Amino acid sequence: MKKEALNTILKIIISLGLLAYLLVQFLSDPVDRRLLLDTLRTANYLYLLVALAFYMLAIVTNAIKWRILLKAQGVPVPLNALVNFTFVGFFFSNFLPANVGGDVMRGFGVARYTERNADAAVSVVVDRVIGLMTFMFTAVVAAFAAVYLASTQADTFIFADETLVQNLTQVEVMATVGMLAIAGGFAVLLSQRLRTLIGKVFTLRLLKPLAPVYKGLSNAFGAYRYQYSALFSAFAVGVGTVVLTGLVDIAIVAGLNGHISPLYIFLFNPIIAVLLAVPISIGGLGTGSVLYVYFYGLVGVPQTLSFALSLIKQAVVYAGSLPGGVLWLKRTRARSQTPPAAG
């Protein structure tokens, strides 16, 4: 418990420290302060509401993707229940120090609903991995398109900025390596030979009590081995989710009366989302702003605009996740009021 408390304190320090650093950087300079405050003050809130709608729709499509994966395991869970669990998961991911807390809550919800703990846990892991793959896949496609267009411009115009091409090429390599790493890890999880090899570790006396748990998890992973249609469908829905999250940023930029090429948004938004999956802060607070300023700076986007975008995006994420907290409280209250079964 002491270690968990220290980790929580460290994440709070990282989040608040990074956010404070950026605020000092932008508010201490009179020009940057005026630009930032004017950008936020003159925002068109109708576009921001559209961004919120896109974000909440993305949460629903996440639930649809998850349902496809559960159905492939033969785990029948209604879509409305999965939407409920997904919103709860997003609430915990964005308001608690560890992003994985949301995955734990999602798996816990399905486990209680179906009493199939291993299948629930594995479905959450596979759902998370496919989600990361779709984000990186979208980033790779956008990166290749951006590099091609930038290179074409460099060949056409003598005064084209070659630094832009170099920066985009580096991002392209980063996205490709990330995509291959995630896909390779997923292939390992599905490999029966490797799972069997790992299972031999549980023949050791110290780990033998955990052998039934590992066997259940291994069998649950094995259920996806030949479910190519389900995996492809889940991947396709995941790409749709990434598109919706990109539209969130596009709507915010429009609401801020700024201009960022949609191609850059579909390039950087997925990469930032994958990096934020590393639980070093509270719901991406602070780290998200740093990543926005850094990546969009590579393509010449004004720092005040990218910082304002990150702040509004954080607010949209928090607002869109709040229904999950309401649903969780409602479900917790309902369980507490349910009389115990007669023994």
pLDDT at 162: 75
The answer to whether the beta carbons of residues 195 and 222 sit under 8 Å apart is yes
Is residue 39 a contact partner of residue 305, using CB atoms and an 8 Å limit? yes
Q: Whose structure tokens read 């759902």?
A: 127
| Total number of residues shown for the chain | 343
- The pLDDT tens digits of the residues spanning 225-242 come to 778 898 899 999 999 999
Per DSSP, the residues of 220-269 read HHHTTTT-HHHHHHHHHHHHHHHHHHHHHHHHHHHHTT----HHHHHHHH
List pLDDT tens digits, range 119-173.
Answer: 788 888 888 889 999 999 999 999 989 888 887 765 444 444 678 888 888 888 9
Quote the CA–CA distance of 42 and 44 in Å, as a whole number.
7
- Confirm if 139 and 270 have CB atoms less than 8 A apart: yes
**pLDDT tens digits for 8-36?**
777 778 888 888 888 888 888 788 788 88
State the DSSP code for 84: H
Element (H, E) at 77: none
Could you give the count of Cα atoms lying within 13 Å of 152 in the half-sphere of its Cβ?
A: 6
Average pLDDT over residues 99-104: 69
Q: Are 225 and 67 in contact (CB under 8 A)?
A: no
* Domain residue ranges in the chain: 2-328
Nearest to 236 by CA among 246, 228, 247, 248: 228
Pairwise CA distance, residues 2 & 173, whole Å: 40
pLDDT for residue 102 = 79
Buried b (16+ CB within 10 A) or exposed e, 226-260: ebeebbebbbebbbbbbebbbbbbbbbbbbbebeb
Note the pTM of the prediction, 2 decimals: 0.85
Report how far residue 161's alpha carbon sits from residue 145's, in angstroms, rounded to the nearest whole number.
Answer: 17
User: Of the ranges 28-42, 69-83, 208-222, which one carries the lowest mean pLDDT score?
Assistant: 208-222
Give me the DSSP letters along 141-153. HHHHHHHHHHHHH
